[in-house]
Amino acid sequence: MIQPARAVLAVILVLFAVSSSPAQNALRSGEQLGRSSGDAGQGGRGGTWPFVPQRDAFRTEALFDLRSMNERVAGESGFVRLARDGNSFVRGDGPPLRFWAVTTGAQHDRSPAELAHHARFLAKRGVNLVRLHGHLESHDKSPRLTDPDSKAIDEAWRLVAAMKKEGIYTSISPYWAAELKHVPASWGIEGWPEGQSPQGLLFFNSRLQQAYRAWLRALLSPANPYTGIPLAKDPALAMIHIQNEDSLLFWTEQAIKGKQLELLGKNFGEWAKKRYGSIPAARRAWGGESMPEDDPSRGILGIHIVWQLTQNNSGGLKKRLDDQLHFFADTMHAFNADVARFLREDLGCRQLINAGNWRTADSIRLNDAERWSYTANEVLAVNTYYSPIHIGPDRGWRIDRGDQFENVSALLNPRAFPLNVRQVAGHPMMITETHWVPPLGYQSEAPFLTSAYQSLTGLDVVYWFTTGETEWSTQDRAAWDSASRAKWAIATPMMLGQFPAAALMFRRGDIAQGKPAVVEHRSLRQVFERVPPIIAEDPGYDPNRDLGDSARRSHLARGVDPLAYLVGPVQVVYGSDPPKTRVAELSRWINRRTQVVRADNGQLAWDYGRGLCTLRAPAAQGASGFLGKVGPIALGDLTIRCDNDYATILAVSLDGQPLARSARILVQVGTQARPTGWADHEAVFQADGGKQTVHGRQIDSTGTMPWAIVRTKATIQVRNPTLTKAIPLDPNGIPRGTCRVRRDPSGLELELPADALYVVLSAR
């Protein structure tokens, strides 16, 4: 196949930056979120109730408040560290530490009092880690290269101080090349267009690296005026993310041109000299394979576009491309290691470091090289969303009338589950951004599934993306900036409203971690020669960065069943001996005929044929999905009968005892929520350039606040003879009367209130 010209393909890359990123636009729009359809096919029977929460006063009579799970002050036990095996986190004084996390932008425009309230609000609902997704470069008209953004630094200092007081750790992501859309001429980045973001350059351009280090120094070295100590010395800052969503292995590599491409080629020449002794020797090793850009007299080797790395090559071209991949990975690994050295030795930082969180142009051929480059630092990460098709002019950040969308629960689409991640042995693994992205209407499943399968697989942190509200996304500021139209915020009743029980069972460790379903051992030679792994991740999808309308799937002709991710941890070991690879007998757990995957911990079952997931652990039991279609669901100590088409019902012990003996149980309920007046209708439309016909929906009205929540129609039985009463709660956990219950010698039965997210069952 003829290689497309770099200049031609670079034009395509303009599409990646046409609209602003999810992060930028979500924060700009105030973190409000749109909702999904409330028609008969989506909502269930019995109407809706309005979600109009009172401001949380943190009254002592609240029957749930997870603030006590946090430290009195974040970092009071010392810096967060790795466990002895390197796979998870421990507190400074040694006990295991699990994080329930969100990305927040509340520091941008909230007063000190509001920011303090925001921290307390999150802590009450189980959050003990927030991520600041920021940009430290100066936004002045003609800044010097090393000038930082003093406002962004002050915001970071304020956020760390506010969260610290509520026992919430912070991690900081200080650089995002895609957001840096204007590279000032005053920076002196030779030959780089002012109107093009510098994606890829940080890995090899020494001037940009000099600026980056100056920005970090300005953030981390001065005393934080709100705490009195520098962030570098503050254990409340748990992690530093080197950069967000940039790689030499993503399609944006193809936009590197001119002097910067020549610089990269000179670095490749130096790399080849070290490997082969000279550039002529390298070209001989490649069977004489050459490029017009090769200039041995100046020490320059041409750089093939990343598209070539995604192809089946042979002969000398394959060898050259394998070496180019090795060079790219070495370049990123060396940069990550150098930043760690700078942070540790020059600035005295003791925080854990995460290199990056991006994906590649080919998840089968390139992802392992990307992940290996992250192993220069302690913590690995990736961004991944559940994001069904959404088509509209502003789909990157907003939901509008006339938009078309696919409305499919992840429970019916397990291949798209965001937690299907290969974890690198010896390193904690995080998802630094996730969301069940609107206008999707099936969201109450998200915290339930994430908590359950995060526990099963040992995935260490999942950051929900994103919020900028003090409390909830419930305000309509203007037509363009309304809660019903925003896309990326999570402060909604079916997302943030489903945190408490999910956060509690994850942080307490109620669900057993499974045994590894797959442990693949890979030599680095396999990685750099692009040998396919035995199991891969499906590529994610971002409407602001990807061509087309939907995520692709990875196809391995003879690979391991991709449903293995729902059985137990899937791990990879780099620089190891491939014959050590082990795969569990997956047929014991995966039944393709019945379309059920059981977890090897014996506590989870995912029925993707009917759209149902069940949890059966001693202290946490529940179900999510199309409960109205499956009849009674018996889970050991909890039985659910539900007439809602779709719902999530979760019972978690508040005192840590098994449900059968607990004196206090939190029952959490989620159905579906849409803005009042939301309307949509069935629609058939084309996606991915006409390659896909979608039977979805089209929006007639995005509605207004308040949220209208589908009324619950469900009954539960709890086999616990000590329970005597059921207390419905408001969204802040405050009792509002009691529910009528039926008791017998074995336990308690009640019809769940139609208009409450929470009920506490009590023995007193």
Please report, as a single letter, which amino acid is at residue 165: K
pLDDT at 302: 98
d(CA 335, CA 315): 31
More confident call, 183 vs 23: 183
φ, ψ (nearest 5 deg) of residue 594: -90, -10
Flag whether pLDDT at 564 surpasses 60.
yes
**103 within a domain of the structure (yes/no):** yes
- Convert the pLDDT of each residue in 254-274 to its tens digit: 999 999 999 999 999 999 999
The per-residue pLDDT for range 593-635, each reduced to its tens digit, is: 999 999 999 999 999 999 999 999 999 999 999 999 999 999 9
3-state secondary structure of 237: strand
Indicate whether 213 pLDDT > 80.
yes
Q: What is the mean pLDDT of residues 211-230?
A: 98
**How far, in whole angstroms, is CA 421 from its chain's centroid?**
11
Report the Cα 120 to chain-centroid distance in Å: 23
Side chain identity at residue 122, one-letter code:
L
Check residue 37 and give its pLDDT.
39
pLDDT at res. 106: 97
Q: Return the pLDDT at 541.
A: 84
Shortest CA distance to 598 belongs to which of 583, 581, 585, 579?
585
Q: Confidence class of residue 30 from pLDDT cuts 50, 70 and 90?
A: very low
The answer to whether residues 361 and 247 touch, using CB atoms and an 8 Å cutoff, is: no
pLDDT at 586 over 80: yes
Confidence of residue 457 (pLDDT cuts 50, 70, 90): very high
In a domain, 666, yes or no: no
pLDDT value for 545: 81
> What Rg, from alpha-carbon coordinates, does the chain have?
26
What pLDDT is stored for residue 570 in this prediction?
98
- Closest listed residue to residue 324, CA positions, set 526, 523, 575, 528: 528
Using a pLDDT cut of 70, give the percent of the chain over it: 94
Is 712 domain-assigned? no
Summarised one tens digit per residue, pLDDT across range 359-404 is: 999 999 999 999 999 999 999 999 999 999 999 999 999 999 999 9
Once rounded to an integer, what is the mean pLDDT over residues 70-79?
98
Residue 212's pLDDT band (boundaries 50, 70, 90)?
very high
Q: How confident is the model at residue 17 (pLDDT cuts 50, 70, 90)?
A: very low
Q: pLDDT digit string (tens) for 223-259?
A: 999 999 999 999 999 999 999 999 999 999 999 999 9
Query: Is residue 577 a part of any domain in this protein?
Result: no
Query: Looking at residues 154-168, what average pLDDT do you find?
Result: 98
Is 90 exceeded by the pLDDT of residue 339? yes
Peptide bond into 439 cis (omega under 30): yes
- Both tokens of residue 529? 């020669």
Residue 606 lies in a domain: no
Number of Cβ within 10 Å of residue 448's Cβ equals 24
Instruction: Read off the pLDDT band of 481 (50, 70, 90).
Output: confident
Q: How confident is the model at residue 14 (pLDDT cuts 50, 70, 90)?
A: very low
DSSP class of residue 255? G
**pLDDT > 90 fraction of the chain, expressed in percent and rounded:** 88
Assigned token pair, 670: 């989620």
Strand-pair category, 633-634 with 692-701: unpaired
> Is residue 7 over pLDDT 50?
no
Establish if 202 belongs to a structural domain: yes
| Whether the predicted pLDDT of 439 surpasses 90 | yes
Phi first, then psi: what are they for 157, rounded to 5°? -60, -45
- In a domain? residue 693: no
Look at the chain and count its residues. Answer: 764
- Residues 466 and 102: their CA atoms lie apart, in Å, by 6
Cα–Cα distance between 485 and 499 in angstroms, integer? 22
pLDDT beyond 70 at 4: no
pLDDT at 215 over 80: yes
What's the pLDDT band for 16 if we cut at 50, 70, 90? Answer: very low
pLDDT at 319 over 70: yes
Spell out the alpha helix ranges (H) of 473-617: 499-508, 524-528
**Domain membership flag for residue 6:** no
If one counts the domains in the chain, the total is 1
**Which 8-state DSSP code applies to residue 344?**
I
Predicted pLDDT at 477 = 80
The string of pLDDT tens digits covering residues 533-556 is 999 999 888 888 888 889 888 888
Residue 675 contacts residue 646 (beta carbons within 8 Å): no
Predicted TM-score of the model (pTM):
0.94
Q: Which domain holds residue 114?
A: 19-40+65-249+332-513
Which tokens is 703 given?
């509605």
Question: What's the CATH code of the domain at 500?
Answer: 3.20.20.80
Average pLDDT over residues 659-673: 98
